[in-house]
Structure formats: C-alpha cells, structure tokens
Amino acid sequence: MTSPDYSIEQDAVAKGYFRIAGVDEVGRGPLAGPVVAAAVILNPDDIPEGLNDSKKLAAKKRAVLGAALHDRAEVAVAQASVAEIDEINILRASHLAMERAVAALDPPPDYLLIDGNMIPRDLALPAQAVVKGDAYSVSIAAASIVAKNWRDQLMVDLAQQHPGYGWETNAGYPSKQHKQALQNLGVTPHHRRSFKPVHNILYQE
C-alpha cells in the first residue's frame, strides 16, 4: 500500500503555485454532531513523517501528528452545524465547512487540493479535486488528521453532556450502542434530524 506523498503538490508548484492547501472533511456519516473540515498548508521543507489517511492511523499516532502539524504547518479548522446540515443537506454542509476552513487561512492559499470528486462551489481559488486524496496527497492527509482529531475531541466533550450514546468512542456514528440509546434515551439537540434513523424516531407512527 503506497503512502501519500508531495507529488501532486509539486505539480502545482510547477504551475507557479506555492501556498498549496490540502482540504478535507470529517463527519459526513454520523447521526450526531457537526461536520468538520480542515485546511492545511505544509512547509515542503518540514513535513512531519507518517502522514496518512486519518482512518488508517491509531488515535495516539493521530494525536502526535496533529500536534506536529499545529507546530510546523499552517492549519485552519471550521465546521457546519447540525442545524445547517439539516437545512442544506450533508454534502452542501461539508462543502460549507471546507469553504470556511479555507477562508480562515491567513494569508490565503493560492491553490487548493480538495479531497473527493467535487470542488465546493463558493471557493474562488484555483483548485483540484483528488478522489481518495488522503491516500495520495500529504497535504490532504494532514487535513484529514487535523479535522478528525478536532471532531473526535468535540464528540468526547459532548458525550459528557449527553452520556449513554457512546459518542466518546463512536464519534456520533451509528454504532449499535448509539442506535439503542436513541431508542431508549431519545433525540438530543446534537442529533441530525434529517438523517433517517433520527427522523424515524422523531416521527414514529
């Protein structure tokens, strides 16, 4: 299995771009919590070793890499709320979080590498969509790590306020425990009402 590298970024450098941000989101699938995106501009001379798709890394490794990225790269994190997810749908909300993360980089990047097959419509910068980008681009892998660490910690914090759903371990994804708790404990303000398992409980006949 190949690890992500800096070759896509080098192609962009060859076109005259230098502030290249990898952009990725985490949290499309959960039943609860916001969708979170990160934008990361790596220093090509100081890239932390071991960057990879956040889903392929153990939590401890992700934490170490996340700290290194905050120290050695330019990092921005943003989210779209549960209310926004329910209002505009999860795909558009994930793009909104990406747009906000890019806007939070100061000074702005001049080129974007976006994980997935779509470029969010309100990004006015030159951009390239990279399918499975966190497996190919270290910048996108870095963004996936930062976004996952940030969102996982948020869900741990929310689990303190709403115990029983297992958010500290399932991060709001539809695990067996989470779905059982929805039946037994009901729907919290942090649940996505437009998602079928939640919607079905709210509107049971």
Give pLDDT tens digits for 103-114.
Answer: 999 999 999 999
Q: What is the pLDDT of residue 1?
A: 55
Q: What pTM was estimated for this model as a whole?
A: 0.96
Look-up of token digits 């399932």:
170
Q: Which two tokens stand for residue 130?
A: 């990279």
The amino acid occupying position 196 is K
Question: Which strands form 127-130's sheet, in the order they lie side by side?
Answer: 74-80, 35-41, 20-26, 111-115, 127-130
Report the distance separating Cα 161 and Cα 164, nearest Å: 10
- As given in the structure block, the two tokens for residue 55 are 């889903």
The verdict on residue 138 lying in a domain is yes
Q: How confident is the model at residue 164 (pLDDT cuts 50, 70, 90)?
A: very high
Q: Is 99 annotated as a binding residue?
A: no
C-alpha to C-alpha distance for 102 and 75, rounded to whole angstroms: 9
Can you give the CATH number for the domain in which 67 is found? Answer: 3.30.420.10
Diameter over CA atoms, the chain:
60
Q: Letter for the amino acid at 182?
A: L
Token duo for residue 109: 């990047």
Structural domain total, the chain = 1
Residue 128's domain comprises 7-151
**5 in a labelled binding site:** no
Identify whether 179 is part of a domain: no
Which residue is listed with tokens 């001049």?
110
Residue 109 lies in a domain: yes
Q: Is 24 annotated as a binding residue?
A: yes
| pLDDT tens string 175-191 | 999 999 999 999 999 99
| 106 in a structural domain | yes
Q: Which DSSP helix (H) or strand (E) runs through 155?
A: helix 138-161
